[in-house]
Amino acid sequence: MTDRAAPPADRTDTRLRRAVTGPLLFLFVLGDVLGAGVYALAGQVAAEVGGAIWVPLLVALLLALLTAASYAELATKYPRAGGSAVYAERAFRQPLVAFLVGFSMLAAGVTSAAGLALAFAGDYLGVFLDVPATPAALVFLLLVALLNARGIRESLSANLVMTLVEVSGLVLVVVLGAVVLGRGDGDLGRTVEFPPGVAPTSAVLAAALLAYYSFVGFETSANLAEEVRDVRRVYPRALFGALLTAGVVYVLVGLAASVVLPPEELAASSGPLLEVVRAADAGVPDWLFSAVALVAVANGALLTMIMASRMTYGMAEQRLLPGVLGRVLPNRRTPWVAIAVTTLVAMALTLVGDLSTLANTVVLLLLFVFLSTNTAVLVLRRDSVATEHFRAPTVLPVLGIASCLLLLWQQEAQVWGLAALLLLAGVVLYLVTRLAGRRPSAAGGAPRG
């Protein structure tokens, strides 16, 4: 659906290169959603719903699509790097609110990249190389930064290859499930079985909250809107197409895992899909699946750091961060200072550990961002622009707000505490920026004095 209106401030000029085509954007979103989490997801979901793994995955997809509709409207209405922070600044006209939304996104992204670096340098890499985890994680982040700085097209071309590899690993699981079922060893009836004594509705809700994490990543694509060719036509198709594709893959993987193994065996493993491959006994070596997992982790880290650097650049362009962060390489036209700073922060986070708490904090911070974006799309309906753009039915952002509140309600006190500390650090950084003379302004405006 599109909306045509009249006036101003929808800038179409950019200092970034418009090198992202529709297929590249589709694969960017798909690669970010089909991340490393899915390789451990089946066991955790099985612990909640038994063999009906596919049901909460489908529910989580529907929840993600609600917020994706808001991103589709805002990214095509305001195609600027900076994503959620830009939308918050336009909607609420409070620089501190916009800063905290952007800071939440940055904190979540950089923390996630640090966690993925540690995951890359752990047991998966240990199958091939016996090296200390922390130095390997630091080298890994450096290589990701160099690829990011080389150019958006080169980065997304690498993403294309890695996305195909990680998708092929999941397709392998689906095929093996069909092979096992075909030879009479699988149990299709398990796919509709719930744990005894558990209400199916409550079990599906609990598991859907867990499964929602596997769809997080689509929001990073809004930060590439300034680099997408024909963004208003291409962006919604790529976003919804990638989410739906990921949802179909997840549902099929859930069905295959349940057919091959009982839920208690899946729940007992930290690598449930590897257990599925082993149980299928079809001659697939363990090292092959470890290699696929490494590619999935590397792809997630690359896409996350692309998002973090573009978010930093966009906030600098909006005068919410120091202007030096908006500098770009003359020939490559990539935001090199933003890439360097976000990489250094991610490297520092790899030294402090506790991966599980950091991962939960990532989810909580992103829910704040989603809540802001779903609210912003309603507020900005009164702000018309002169070009056509996607328009979501009003009920979708309203339901998106409700879904964010529901998910926030489920978070633990410890995670709330860590998120509060991170946001407090953001407030301090905001005040320091003001004192340094870089007082934030309304989106697109001049610095206030």
pLDDT tens, position by position, 314-351? 777 767 777 788 888 777 778 888 899 889 988 987 88
In whole angstroms, what separates CA 413 from the centre of its chain? 23
Strand ranges (DSSP E) for 29-140?
none
In whole angstroms, what separates CA 5 from the centre of its chain? 31
Neighbour tally for 127: CB within 10 Å = 14
| Architecture of the domain defined by 22-435 | Up-down Bundle (1.20)
CA distance 120 to 134: 10
The average confidence (pLDDT) of the chain is 81
Check whether 9 has a pLDDT greater than 80.
no
CA distance 333 to 150: 9
Q: What type of residue sits at position 165?
A: V
Q: Which helix (H) or strand (E) is 2 found in, with range?
A: strand 2-3
CA distance 42 to 172: 15
- Range in 66-70, 244-248, 305-309 the model is least confident about: 305-309
Confidence label for 35 from pLDDT (cuts 50, 70 and 90) = low
Mean pLDDT for the stretch of residues 58-74: 93
Its pTM stands at 0.78
Long-range contacts, 422-431 (Cβ 8 Å, 24+): 422/103, 422/104, 422/107, 422/361, 422/365, 423/100, 423/103, 423/104, 426/99, 426/100, 426/103, 426/104, 426/107, 427/96, 427/100, 429/103, 430/95, 430/96, 430/99, 430/100, 430/103
Per-residue pLDDT tens digits for 192-222:
999 888 888 888 888 887 788 788 888 877 7
Q: What is the largest CA-CA distance in the chain?
A: 75
